[in-house]
Amino acid sequence: MTRPSEDDLIARFFAPLATSAGADGLTDDAAVVPEGEGDLVVTKDMAIAGVHFFPDDPPGLIAAKALRVNLSDLAAKGAVPSGFLLGLGLPPDWTTDFLAAFADGLGRDITAYGCPLLGGDTVKVPGPLTLSVTAFGRATRTVRRRGARPGDLLCVTGTIGDGALGLAARQAERQPATAPDWLRLIAPEERAHLVDRYLSPRPRVALAAAVARHASAAMDVSDGLVGDLAKMMAASGTGARLDAGAVPLSGAAAAAIALDPALRMRALTGGDDYEILLACPPDRLAALRDDAAAANVPLTVIGEVTEGAEVSWTAGGQVLSFGSGRFEHF
């Protein structure tokens, strides 16, 4: 089977996704980021087969996740998406069917999140499929990690732990002999929920404007709630008191933890949540909750920012220890 050339590949699969006038139909070497009010916020994430996703994950979900993890970063800064650049390193065994499914999944998210493709690059690589997404957004007020102040309330969106437990469930789908007992015992729909949350994160784009209005500090939860919170407190020069029992869990995660209580540690320290962790002054909490409800984004208070540098977690009156508490890239 004859493969398309690079120019034909771009024209066939990716030019239809470049809906912004600034992309000029991907016919030039550069793009113009659409104008908008406020700061231009930029973020970048890479994803490599066998490291960040399984090589046999559905192509459309691989593409969507590569974009969504960047949209999660933007939302945590209070930024609404403006567009993105895609770097695509194709391995020797790539096929046009793979690219068609990849582009289809990307196209659905471009429409869903209003984030057009602006440009990028395609190359052949000797190793695994490699993706690089650089996303742009606009924020009327960019919310940094470093703004938390003593007395602020610490909140998270959605539920925590589904991504980390979903990774275990996805691994067991590919290698059933490795499935732990809890995965054999939870209901099929609970297992399916966890896998779906791992494969298809839900970036909280709908809450971006509310983050800009109300949060004193924020970041997305990608490397584990415990470790990411520690990073935010370190950047702010503050400590925190947190109640692990207050951390919101999905029904599926709660069922898994009921079968194996040690999974609570994995839920709190594992990655792939892509929720927003934020600090909010107490007098802004009611307005933040109203905005979250209007955006249909669940929001839960899990603790408080304190003086000093100590970050303490308790559960049922017992002090918890997590080690580094986060996913480590190196």
Torsion sign across C-alpha atoms 26, 28, 29, 35: negative
The radius of gyration computed from the CA coordinates of the chain, to the nearest angstrom, equals: 20
Q: What percentage of the chain has pLDDT greater than the value 90? A: 82
Quick check: 326 pLDDT over 60? no
Overall average pLDDT of the 304-311 stretch: 96
Q: How confident is the model at residue 329 (pLDDT cuts 50, 70, 90)?
A: very low
Q: What is the pLDDT of residue 327?
A: 44
| pLDDT score recorded for residue 3 | 80
Answer whether residue 303 shows pLDDT above 80: yes
290 is in an annotated binding site: no
Average pLDDT over residues 142-150: 96
CB 208 within 8 A of CB 71: no
Under the banding of pLDDT at 50, 70 and 90, the label for residue 269 is very high
Q: What is the predicted pLDDT for the residue at 1?
A: 59
29 is in an annotated binding site: yes
Does the annotation flag 8 for ligand binding?
A: no
Does 328 have pLDDT greater than 50?
no
Domain boundaries, given as residue ranges, for the chain: 6-139, 145-318
Q: What is the pTM of this model?
A: 0.92
Which class does domain 6-139 fall in? alpha beta
- 8 A C-beta contact, residue 238 and residue 306: yes
121 is known to lie in a ligand binding site: yes
Q: Is 54 annotated as a binding residue?
A: no
Note the pLDDT of residue 2: 74
Check if the beta carbon of residue 198 is closer than 8 Å to that of residue 169. Answer: yes
Condensed to tens digits (0 to 9), the pLDDT of residues 168-202 reads 999 999 999 889 999 999 999 999 999 999 999 99
The per-residue pLDDT for range 225-234, each reduced to its tens digit, is: 999 999 999 9
7 vs 159, more confident = 159
* pLDDT reported for residue 330: 34
Q: What distance in Å separates the CA atoms of residue 2 and residue 95, rounded to the nearest whole number? A: 10
pLDDT number for residue 98: 95
283 is in an annotated binding site: no
Structure tokens at 117: 């493709």
Q: How far apart are CA 191 and CA 168, in angstroms?
A: 10
Type and span of the H or E element at 84: strand 80-90
pLDDT, tens only, 89-135: 999 999 999 999 999 999 999 999 999 999 999 999 999 999 999 99
Q: Is 73 annotated as a binding residue?
A: yes
Q: What is the mean pLDDT of the chain?
A: 93
Q: What is the pLDDT of residue 28?
A: 73
How far apart are the C-alpha atoms of 256 and 172, rounded to whole Å? 14
Q: How confident is the model at residue 244 (pLDDT cuts 50, 70, 90)?
A: very high
Which of 139, 132, 135, 142 is closest to 114 using CA atoms?
135
User: pLDDT (tens digit, 9 = 90+) per residue, 55-100?
Assistant: 999 999 999 999 999 999 999 999 999 999 999 999 999 999 999 9
DSSP 14: I
Q: Is 52 annotated as a binding residue?
A: yes
For tokens 């912004």, what's the residue? 20
pLDDT at 325: 55
Q: Is 145 annotated as a binding residue?
A: yes
The DSSP output letter for 186 is S
CA dihedral 87, 329, 158, 81 (to 10 degrees): -30
| pLDDT for 323 beyond 80 | no
Question: Cα dist. 7→12, 13, 109, 145, 282 in Å?
Answer: 9, 10, 23, 41, 54
Q: Is the pLDDT of residue 27 over 90?
A: no
Taking domain 145-318, whether its CATH number is 3.90.650.10 is answered by: yes
Q: Enumerate long-range contacts of 56-59, CB under 8 Å, 24 or more apart.
A: 56/174, 57/170, 57/199, 58/101, 58/105, 58/199, 59/98, 59/99, 59/101, 59/102, 59/105
